[in-house]
Structure formats: C-alpha cells, structure tokens
Structure 1
Amino acid sequence: MKQPFFHSVYLFLFLALCQIELLAQDSQKYAIIPQPQSLTPEKGEFLLNEKTTLLLPVDSAGFKLAASFLADLVKNAAGYELKYGKAGAKPSKNTVAFLVDPNLENEEAYTLQVHSKGVQIKSKTAKGAFFAVQTLRQLMPAEVEGKSTQKTFPIPAVTITDAPRFSYRGVMLDVGRYYFPVDFLRKYIDLLAFYKINTFHLHLTEDAGWRMEIKKYPKLQEIAAWRDSTVVGHAKDKPRKYDGKRHGGYYTQQELKELVKYAQNRFITIIPEIDMPGHSLAALAAYPELGCLKDTTYQVLTAWAIQKDIFCPHETTFTFLEDVLTEVMEVFPSKYIHIGGDEAPKDRWKQSAAAQEVIKREGLKDEHELQSYFIRRVEKFVNSKGRAIIGWDEILEGGLAPNATVMSWRGEKGGIAAAKQKHDVIMTPNTYLYLDYYQTPEARKTEPVAIGGYLPLEKVYSYNPVPASLTAAEAKHILGTQANVWTEYISTGDHAEHMTFPRASAFAEVAWTRPERKNYADFKLRLLQHSKHLDKLKVKYAPYFKAEKGLSQAGK
C-alpha cells in the first residue's frame, strides 16, 4: 500500500521541479524589468531584419519618437535603417505596427503582441508606445545595444498587457556635491528610460556647490560653483585629510534646456531642486548678505556635514530666491519645482535680530513656524507662475504649505502624516531607497567608501510605497516613489552607475509592478539575463548580485 504513495510523492516532486525549470526558462527568455502586469508566452519568434517596416497611426504626433527610438537602436547595432510604411496601413507580414487604443486605462499603458509575422504595439498615447518599445528592446538580444555583426534580431513570441502602478516614478541624482558632465547625465537619462522611470530629479544646489547658471547673479557661477578642496576618505575620519584640488563646474541654461529636451524625447520629466533655506552655504559664499551673520566670510563647503549657516529671512533673500526661481522655471517646464526644505538648523535664526523680528511681525510661535512661513512665501510665488512645489518632509514642521507635495525621506512617518492631511506624497524612505548606502555586509572590505547604512538589492526590491496604515482614500495621495543617489562619496560617473545599478532596476519594479506580480527569486533570474544588456551598454553596475547563493547556477 505504501508504494503508490511514494510514487505519488515522487511524481509531485518531479512535476514541481519541471515547473521550476520552466519558470526559470521563461525568466531568461522574457527577462523584462520591470515585470509587466500580464505576460503570456507564445510559440515561435519574430525575426526583425532590414526588411522590417515600421507602421505609424495616421495621427502620428509623438508616436514617431517611439518608433524612431527603435529604428535608431537597430541602426546603431546593425547599420541599416528600418523603413516606414504608409501611415495608418494595416499590420502585415514583417511589420512593427503602432496602433492607437483609446480604451487603455491610462496614457502610459500599452499592449504588445509579438508573433512570427510581426509586432503590434497598442497604446493610448505616444508615451505608452515608448514604454512598449523599451519592453521590446529588452526582449531582443543584448547585441542590439551597440555596434554588432548581428544583422537580424529574434524576438520571442509573447502577449503583454501592461500599465504602471504609480504615475510618479523617479530617481534623484545629486550634482551639488560633485559636478557630473552633461554627457553622463544623458547616459543616466537613457538608463532611466530603459526602466520606464519617468522623472529625473536633479539636485542642483548644495553647501558644496551651485550647479546652475543664473544670469542675474553671476557670482553663483564665479564663486558658488567652486570649492578649493575636498575631504579625502570619510568625513568622520580623524584627522580629516583634504585633496587640495579645486573642484566645481556648472551647467549653462542652454545646456540644461537641451538636457530637458533630451529627456522629453524619452518621456522623462526633469524636476530641478534649488535647496532652501538650508544647504545654501555655497550661495552665501557668493552673496553673504543673504545670511544672518555680519562680518563673516562664508566659504563653499569642503567636507560633508550639516551646516548652521542657512538663508536668513531678509526681504533681499526672498527677492534673490524669486529671481533665481524665475530663471529656473524658464529653463525647466516641469509642473513641480523642488525647494528642498531639509536639514535646516535654526541656530542662526535664533541668534538673528532680523529673523526674530520676522517671527514677531508675523505672529509666529517659533523658528519652526518661521521655516513654514519661509516655505509658504516661496510656494505662493511658485504657484503664481502656474507651478507647484515639492519639499522634503521637514516642510511639515511648523505647518505645511497649502499646495505642497511632500517627499518622505526620514522613513514613512512624514508621508503618512501628509497623506492623512490630504496632501500628495512621494515615498522615498532612506532605509529602502537611498542608493548611496553600502550594498554588501562586508562593505568596508569590498566596496568604495560610502556614507554608511546597508541597503542590499533584496531590501530595495521588497519595498511597498503604500503604508498599510493608510485608508484607501488616503492611499490615493501616494503619487509614487523615488530612489535617491546622494554623492558625498560619489565623484565619478562610473561610481554613480555602480551605486545606482542594479538597485535602480529593482526599484523600477517597485514603482511599476503591482505587488502580487513581484517575486524576488524570479527577478534575480531575469536580472542575470538582463545584465547582458547593461554589459553592452557599458554600465559599471555593482556585480554583487551575481554572487548570491544559487543565482549563478539557476541562471545558466
């Protein structure tokens, strides 16, 4: 009687192993990141070649951006140009057809069908079509990412229905501590687009450097954009050592306008950040009258620490900030302007007669309410230009500005509080989404110096931006999520890539894919295959994931 039982157990285990093997094969064959909402494998493949024709809708405004991205990809790899057929023509053999589907759930949604005869991409807008192209690109061999001897590109047959979980999917890069060349920013934007990230938050000003040309205030370029030296090693090391080298740079308004256009062509919005009232030492070095102290020579920061010197609430300060923001908004057309608001010690305000006079005049309780007054004044100005502000969660202190969106970085507490007050929120808690943290348990032995903390790939992947404590109505105020790359200890583009990827790949799935579709084991299998694309793109990603137990064997 026991033998049939054991046969059943063996059969069950055999079938389970077969199922696991099939899942592993699918993970390699359909190594898409972020994971689509629905993916149905089909039999066969489509062979894209020099005779493949691109078909656009009759009203093709914007759709050609998506189609030309695919055409440029193939041209750069194989050397030939894909031709365009007659707009509005019905899909036929060996075509990649872009079709408008007004019934899809939102402007970023798409469906993708690949079969032996051709490819059909349906979307409501060009934005959805562009995201579909990124999915198609990831289904193609990695050779499509650079010059190759390969002339044809097989794409496995599949049916995909996809749409993002969140409308805001962002990555922030801090260029205030270190200046990064424009060419690197373009590459970074390309990589964000690859993962369907739609917002690039550019942190432009810091105690250690001011990175945007402001024509009305030339000393920001002459003085605030440069520091005389930079700390070597960790700022906490004693005694501190410095490199004695001048560092700096800034982006001209023309360079930034071109960068904005470059990002727009990839359906990415750039949100600029001008930090206030804190993180303003570089600006004070250029224009000391904006500070609270007299007879003081401010200097651009050379080491990493929160500074007590911040903008003083003089009328001249508000005039300066309004002038700066006017030029910022002329360059950046984004709905949101980020005004910082974080890490602003109140020591100088407590000592300043001018600051105390504002508190008295406005009937404010204390310096925290003075910061709220400061932020509200700036918000009113930004709103008058038809824009809205975002601030770090410190802007909650002393009372939140009426229309502000909160970026919750000190955990989720600030975001929860803001959502309960019916304010929009972007979740970006440091414990899950600060990509300047160490990536391995043996950090000091295996990694370059970082700010601290420990944030492995799996922890990034595990994050859910909607706290369980929120009601359904409150949860609607969670616009999305953002990963941040602060650069106190990241001075080169290669190092920035090492810290960003593949953790930003995991983050992309947090931001795009619904929780029930996420599976870390499956993600790792996809990532191993997907990393071949990153290799061809010459991305200096952190390779630690390849050493995770069982991954290399499973991915063979």
Structure 2
Amino acid sequence: MRNLLKTAAAIAMTGWLCSCSGEKTEANYRVIPIPQEIVMAAGSEFTLSSGVKIIYPEGNEAMQRNARYLADYLKKATGMDYRVEAGTEGKGNILLQVLPDAEKPEAYQLKVNGEGVVISGASEAGVFYGIQTLRKSIPVVAGSTPVLAGVEINDAPRFDYRGAHFDVSRHFFTVDEVKSFIDMMTLHNMNRLHWHITDDQGWRIEIKKYPLLTEIGSQRKETVIGRNSGEYDGKPYGGFYTQEQAKEIVAYAAERYITVIPEIDLPGHMQAALAAYPHLGCTGGPYDVWTIWGVSDNVLCAGNDSVLTFIDDVLAEIMDIFPSEYIHIGGDECPKVKWQTCPKCQARIKALGIKSDAKHSKEEYLQSFIINHGEKFLNAHGRQMIGWDETLEGGLAPNATVMSWRGEGGGIEAAKQHHDVIMTPNTYLYFDYYQTKDTENEPLGIGGYLPLERVYGYEPMPRSLTPEEQKYIIGVQANHWTEYIPTLSHLQYMALPRWAALCEVQWSSPEEKNYQDFLSRLPQLIKLYQAEGYNYAKHVFDVTADFRANAQTGVVEVSMKTIDNAPIHYTLDGTEPTAVSPVADSVLAIKENCTFRAVAVRPEGNSRILSEKIAFSKSTCKPIVANQPVNKQYEFKGVSTLVDGLKGNGNYKTGRWIAFYRNDMDVTIDLQEPTEISSVAFTTCVEKGDWVFDVRGITVEVSDDNKTFTKVFSEEYPAMKETDRNGLYEHKQTFEPVKARYVHILAPSEHSIPAWHGGKGNPGFLFVDEIVID
C-alpha cells in the first residue's frame, strides 16, 4: 500500500499527461466517491480498442447524450475517437441501457467481462453516474489503450440531494464560468446547484417587471478592500444574467442531471433591491448597492403591502425561469432594527395580533409572516420552499425544507418537527474557510479552518435523532460564499480537492468510508483535475505535523507525516530544509526555543515548507487543569493548548486557540517546583461579528500547596465598543517578583454582549492562546 500511495502521489504531483503512444493502461475502479459494491471477476478483461462502439437505446435522446459524454471523456483520457450508435447489441462494445428501479432512480450497475462493458441504470441519470465511475477509473494517458479488468459494480447514492452552493452576488461569474462550475459538479456526482443570485452587494437576475433591479441593483459603485478595511478600490463592479442566459444555464445543468435551485434571499440581504426601488424599505432610502461585506440593516419593509406584491411578482418570474421543485427564499441574517422603529411594521404586528414571548420577539414572528407569505405563493404554484435555519425563528412555514448552516442545531430541530433538512453546517462545509493554518501564504479569505480531513470526517446523520427522524435528513451541501473569491480559478482552489471529500460524504455509505483509503484514491482523481485544467489546492501533499505538550517530560513532541510517506527533512534554526537536512524518521522532542521547519522531498519537486516557532517560558509543557470547562465545539487538544509553546494567528479555528462560552477561562498551572515569577501573559482573538469578544478582566493568584492562594494581580476591563478593532489582543500582567509553585489565572468572558451588537444580551465566546509565565 505504501508503494502504491507513493507512486500515485508522484503521478499526481507531476502536472503533465504522459504521452506513450499505444501504451496499455489498467483501469482502477476504486474511484471517488467509492462505490457501494465492487466485485472483481478474475481472469476476465476487456480492451477499449479504437473499434469499440458506444451503444445507446434508439430514440432515447438523454441516453444519446450520455453516450456522447462518454465518448468525449474517453477521447480526453486516451486521445482516441469512439463511435456512438443506436442499438441493443453490446458484444464487443460498451452498452448503455435503462432498467427502471423506482426505489433508487440514480442507481446503476457497471459490468465488465471479456465480451464488453454494460452500464445499466435505474434511469438515464443512473446510467450517467455509471459513466462517471468508468470515466474516473481510466488513467489519463495520451495515445493509450485502456484495459478494463472484469468487474461488477453495484452502486447508488446515500443521499438524494447532493448539493453545491454558488454565490454570484458578491462577485459575478460569467455564463461560461457557471457552466464550468457545473462540469466540476458532474465529476463529483453532485445533482443540485444552489444558485445564490441576489444579495446586498448585487442583484444578478433579470426581472422584467422590475427592470431597475438589474439596471441599478446589479452595479455597485466600488468595493471595499480586504475585510471591511474602510478603504475602497474606486472601481464600479457589476453584472447580471438575462432570463435567457439563466435558462441556458438551467438547460446545461439538466443535461448533466443537475437541478438548479435559485435563491432570492428575503426579507434581509435586500439592499441592492432597495437601491433600485427604495419605497420597499422601511425608511424610503435613498439606498446604494452595498459596497462592503456583511449584513445590512436595510431590509424589506414587512408592513408595506407593495413588498408582498414585489415578492409575488419576483417569485412568479423566477418560477418561469427555473423549473426546480424547490425555490430558496433565504430567510437568514435579517436584522430587525428597522422594523422595531418602523410605523408600518409595528402596525402590521398590531393588526396580526403578534405578541413577544419567551422564545421569540414580535419582530421575529413578523419575519415568519413574510416567510409564510412566500411559501404560500410557491405552494400555490406547485413549488416547495427552502430556507436557511433562521426560518425556524417565529415558527417554521408549514411545508418548508430547512438548510442548516449555523452548525447542525437548526437541522436537528427541524427534523424533530418532521421537516425535510439539508445539512450544510459552517463547521464542516463552508468552503470559503481556509484549508490550511498557514493563512499568511494563502489568498485572503473570510477566516475559519476546514482542512480536507475535517470535511471527510463529517457525518450528516446526527445521533441525537431517532431513526424515524433521521429520514428527514435528505441531503448534504457545501457552500461557496464569494466575498473573498473573485475569480473562478480562486473558487476552484477553494473547492478542490475538498469536493472529493464532500462527494464521498454525499454518496458513499459510512461503513465504506476510510480517510487513509480515501487519500490513496485521491491522486487518481487529481489526475483528472489536471486534465481538465482545474486549479486545485495542493495542501494534501504538504507535511502535516502534530505538536503536543508532554507535561511529564517537559518537551514539545512533534510527529510528522505525508500522504505518500515521502521523506521529511527538517531544521530547528529557521534555515530552509533541503534533501541534506536531517530526516524526521521518529517523533522529535523539542525542549528549547526554536524555529521548526520541515519539507517533504520528492523526485518531482518538494512540498511547501511547514514552519512553526516554538517558544518556551516557565509555563511551557507544565501540567495545567481547567477549573471551568472548555467549550466542546472549540476544544481541539484541550487545555494543554495553552502551554504547548505555539502561538495562534488571527484565525481562531486553527486548533491553536481554545474557547470558553457561558463560563470563564479559569486555569491552574503547576510549575512543578517553587519558581520565581513576575509576569503572566496570554493572547485573545477577537472577531465581534462571530460573537467572539475579549476578556472582561484578569486575576492572577499564586500558591505553594494548590489550596491557599494569594492574589498578585487583578484588573477589570469594560465591555468592548463597536469601534474596537477585531484581531489579536495581547494581555500581559506584571507584578512584584514572587516565588510559587501553582499559578491560578481567571479571565471572565463576555457574559452579555453589548446592546450595539446583533447578539445583544447573549454570552460571547472567549478564544485564548498561549499562557506565558516569566
């Protein structure tokens, strides 16, 4: 297996196609996503020579397209032309046929023996997925002749809804680029394109009854630079799709068995629409298409009858463009501040008899009124509504499907209420998040940290649901928000190869999944990325290192590995490692300050360099206990993270930070012997938009026996202001030198978010990193 891995990864890293005329290549059926059942037939094989034809049922236009797709795929892989013909004779050929199966319409069987290849599907879509498996099994080698070993593959998807979300509102993508996104979906067996086409920063779809939506709403005068830096590029930005272009995209997707689900986000995320039609807002404007990222307070006026007419008119034209059963109407991140002071909205609340209660404010119930209106209109026209999990607030529309993005909580609640659910939690499936901890060498991103392994490890069926409730989890989707993804090449970099992990979550049975086996199969798929010209991320070929503080020995232990067991070379003095540097063939024990750097050395080229600074203080690698629990969601390696010698960057999700929520950082460190100390320092990471705040105070106490403590420092801090910056806050407390063995540090979190914040009154998260005692 190791040699196989090494060879496969070497191929994947080369970046070019072999060109060996007449070379015979062997198919490998262990593709991504891994099929449910692969049974090899010994001693039986079939050669795809140039005379082999692809046969489809006469008169079946969809199957004819399937046959042509397969011919195109084979030509790209081999350089050979394969004829496509109607008929039923499969001997010596590739026969495509439909054998209906109502239970799993996307199921297929791929059978190879000495007489040929037969791909049978429960529908035309099933045949198409069988074609994808065959396509991915065949090496891409120009001028080659594939040899297919005898096999019987029986396969069907785990989830009926296998989605990818594409935001074209923040940054616009051309029709051809959207088609390329659809082709990427095809390679990964996906069947739902969630197309986010309206938002505060741009309205991207033509609505004939409201022409100003695209004339004005699709154009912003400029765009903020970076993460809402306050500086702007001064460049007008825009673009939209005509209804005919949108229908062209819908048809292109349908030919590949992908349904396009449009999202018209309401009642929030509507500032671009308000810029075009200001009377739809609570204040009447004027409004501009938003030039910054985030969520605007300017939303549709829920007390204005013309807003209800606008919603109906827009949805009517959307339904005419998009034949999908589902229409997405958003419902997320709708600030209520304008509604609270709007006479029309308050009059609507009074007319409807809405009252606040312990669960929801009257404005949240007002949002439910708007969402219910949209759903009734869709249902009346034979369509179904999807909404983000905020649609649960104020009561869920009767027939709505919920898309759970704020973790899994909304999906679990909706499934318990017997509503269909699509799992798309930001904790696993937001692909605008960074995929490496080394964010300084990455394109600017929104934040977060979602490496390939975490995506692959996602299990969409919550254990807290009963088997009956789990039936309401109908699908899985990854989201691609494009505030910081301005080009298709960048989007590909963020999606690939994480889509490989995603599609196996969506398609394959949990018992068939194994991360190490997945990694062994990944290079074969990456070869197809190269053939298609996709700009995939190569982090999977880098050195991965695990740093652990060993309190017993007082050292930082470093364990390293690569996908293919390539030799790893390292240095500890900050110099660049090369092939002559020491080889990391065992766990390293670091016991003093150093700059650790490591590289995987391969014949076809070295990996990127992994670099970490390890700094020792009197607290490094000392025993530490948390007197109040660490937040489970952001526990990572636990409280020892605070004394492992490593410091985190501005991304609080990398595992370098741990979080406290609804309680405080309250830790005791055992210095193991009486030690003179005069300072305690640590760092917090603040991201106010994510409810992540700074400490409200610091107390340091010392003890000789871990029973009686003496206070040496104490200070309280005010609540953060809206104008306070996000980022890293260094806290260093100095005091008169004192000798002690135990150090107790208490740092209260923000227990009630200030009134200026959208999360006012709720507890905030506190993210803390390295405690340095000197």
- Note whether the superposition's TM-score is higher than 0.5: yes
Q: Which residue of 2 aligns with 1:98?
A: 96
Alignment check: 8 A CA contact 1:104 1:123 kept: no
Q: How does 1:20-99 map to 2 (within 5 A)?
A: 29-43=28-42, 45-57=45-57, 60=60, 62-75=62-75, 81-85=81-85, 87-89=87-89, 91-93=90-92, 95-99=93-97
1:399 pairs with 2:389? no
Q: For residue 312 of structure 1, what is the aligned residue in structure 2?
A: 301
Q: Deviations over 1:152-198 (max 9, x none)?
A: 33344432110000000000010010001111111110110111100
Letter in 1 for 2:105: E
CA positional deviation for 1:105: 4.5
Separation of aligned partners in 1, 2:219 and 2:247: 22
Q: After the TM superposition, which of the residue ranges 67-76 and 157-166 deviates more from structure 2?
A: 67-76
Give the drift of 1:550.
2.7
Counterpart-to-counterpart distance in 2, 1:477 and 1:279:
28
Q: How far apart, CA to CA, are the structure 1 residues paired with 2:424 and 2:205?
A: 25
CA distance in 1, matches of 2:347, 2:113: 72
- Report the equivalent of 2:239: 249
Q: How far, CA to CA, are the matches of 1:257 and 1:74 in structure 2?
A: 29
Q: Is the 8 A contact 1:29 1:139 kept in 2?
A: yes
Contact 1:50 1:82 in 2 (8 A): yes
CA distance in 1, matches of 2:427, 2:151: 37
Q: CA separation of 1:41/1:20 partners in 2, compared to 1, >3 Å: closer, same or farther?
A: farther
Distance 1:92 1:467 in 2: 47
Partners of 2:31 and 2:524 within 8 A in 1: no
Seen in structure 2, the aligned counterparts of structure 1 residues 318 and 299 have a Cα distance that, compared at 3 Å, is same
User: Residue type matched to 1:334 in 2?
Assistant: S
2:450, 2:535 → 1: CA distance?
18
State the one-letter code of the partner of 1:450.
G
Larger relative contact order (Cα-Cα within 8 Å, sequence gap ≥ 6): 1
Aligned to 1:389: 385
Letter in 2 for 1:55: I
For residue 113 of structure 1, what is the aligned residue in structure 2? 111
Q: Would the aligned equivalents of 1:388 and 1:403 in 2 still touch at CA under 8 Å?
A: yes
Is the 8 Å Cα contact of residues 50 and 151 (structure 1) preserved in structure 2? Answer: no
The counterpart of 2:227, out of the listed 234, 239, 246, is 234
Amino acid at match of 2:73: L
Aligned to 1:206: 199
Report the secondary structure of 1:177's partner residue. coil
Match of 1:322 in 2: 312
Residues in 2 aligned to 1:24 and 1:166: alpha-carbon distance in whole angstroms: 33
CA contact (8 A) 1:292 1:312 kept: yes
In structure 1, distance between residues paired with 2:112 and 2:233 = 55
Cα distance in structure 2, aligned partners of 1:122 and 1:29: 19
Instruction: Indicate how the Cα distance of structure 1 residues 229 and 541 shifts in structure 2: closer, same or farther if over 3 A, else same.
Output: same
Contact preservation (8 Å) 1:31, 1:530? no
Residue 391 of structure 1 aligns with an amino acid whose one-letter code is: G
Q: What's the CA shift for 1:76?
A: 5.4
Match of 1:343 among 325, 333, 337: 333
> Residue 433 of structure 2 contacts residue 448 of structure 2 at CA under 8 Å; is this kept in 1?
yes
Higher mean Cα deviation, 30-39 or 466-475? Answer: 30-39
Give SS of 2:327's match: strand
Helix, strand or coil for the counterpart of 2:260? strand
- Residue 128 (structure 1) aligned with residue 123 (structure 2): no
Give the 3-state SS of the residue equivalent to 2:339 in structure 1: helix
> TM-score scaled to structure 2, two decimals?
0.66
Deviations 1:373-406 (A, max 9, x none): 0000111011111101100000000000000000
Query: Is this contact kept in 2: 1:37–1:514, CA < 8 A?
Result: yes
Partner-residue secondary structure (3-state), 1:111? strand
CA distance in 1, matches of 2:196, 2:91: 47
Say which SS state the counterpart of residue 161 (structure 1) adopts.
strand
Q: What letter matches 1:113 in structure 2?
A: K
Question: What per-residue deviation string (whole Å, max 9, x for no partner) do you get for residues 403-446 of structure 1?
Answer: 00000000111101100101000011000000000111122x22
Q: Which has the higher helix share?
A: 1
**Residue 355 (structure 2) pairs with residue 368 (structure 1):** no
Structure 2: distance between partners of 1:350 and 1:154: 69
- In the other structure, the counterpart of 1:417 is 413
Deviation at 1:74, TM superposition (A): 3.3
Identify unmatched segments of 5+ residues in structure 1: 1-18
Q: Structure 1 residues 550, 156: CA separation in 2 closer, same or farther (over 3 Å shift)?
A: farther
- Deviation by residue 1:499-556 (Cα, 9 ceiling, x = unmatched): 1111111100000011100001111111122201101111011110111423134799
**Do 1:170 and 1:482's aligned partners in 2 also have CA atoms closer than 8 Å?**
yes
Counterparts of 2:154 and 2:442, CA distance in 1: 39
Q: Could you tell me whether the CA contact under 8 Å between 1:55 and 1:96 is conserved in 2?
A: yes
- Aligned partners of 1:471, 1:23: CA distance in 2, in Å? 39
**RMSD, matched Cα:** 2.1
Q: Tell me which of 504, 510, 514 is aligned to 2:505.
A: 510
Instruction: Return the alpha-carbon distance in structure 1 between the equivalents of residues 378 and 433 of structure 2.
Output: 33
For residue 495 of structure 1, what is the aligned residue in structure 2? 490
Please state how far the C-alpha of 1:102 moved relative to its aligned partner: 3.4
Distance 1:253 1:188 in 2: 19
Q: 1:364: how far off?
A: 1.4
Contact 1:341 1:395 in 2 (8 A): yes
- Unaligned 5+ runs, structure 2: 10-26, 356-361, 544-560, 567-601, 604-774
CA contact (8 A) 1:65 1:130 kept: no
Question: 2:433, 2:53 → 1: CA distance?
Answer: 46
Moved more, 419-428 or 528-537: 528-537
Equivalent residue, structure 2, for 1:477: 472
User: In the alignment, residue 306 of structure 1 is paired with which amino acid?
Assistant: V
Partner of 1:10: none
1:40 alignment partner, SS class: strand
- CA, structure 1 residues 331+71, in 2 after alignment: closer, same or farther (shift >3 Å)? same
What letter corresponds to residue 166 of structure 1 in structure 2?
Answer: F
Q: Does 1:193 align with 2:182?
A: no
Distance in 2 (alpha carbons) for counterparts of 1:279 and 1:376? 18
- Go from structure 1 to structure 2 and tell me whether the alpha carbon gap of 1:514 and 1:23 turns closer, same or farther (over 3 Å shift): farther
Q: What's the CA shift for 1:274?
A: 0.3
Pairing partner for 2:515 from 513, 516, 520: 520
Whose Rg is larger? 2
d(CA) in 2 for partners of 1:347 and 1:516?
48
Aligned-partner SS, 1:214:
coil
In structure 2, the residue matched to 1:158 is 151
Structure 1 or 2: larger strand share? Answer: 2
Whether the 8 Å contact between 1:458 and 1:520 is mirrored in structure 2 is yes
Measure, in 2, the Cα distance between the counterparts of 1:471 and 1:335. 27
SS at match of 2:147: strand
> Residues 216, 46 of structure 1: CA spacing in aligned structure 2 closer, same or farther, 3 A cutoff?
same
Per-residue Cα deviation, 1:82-136 (whole angstroms, up to 9, x for no partner): 33455223x212x101233335851100111123432111111100000000000
Q: Which amino acid in the other structure matches residue 69 of structure 1? A: Y
Q: 1:442 to 1:80 in 2, by over 3 A?
A: closer
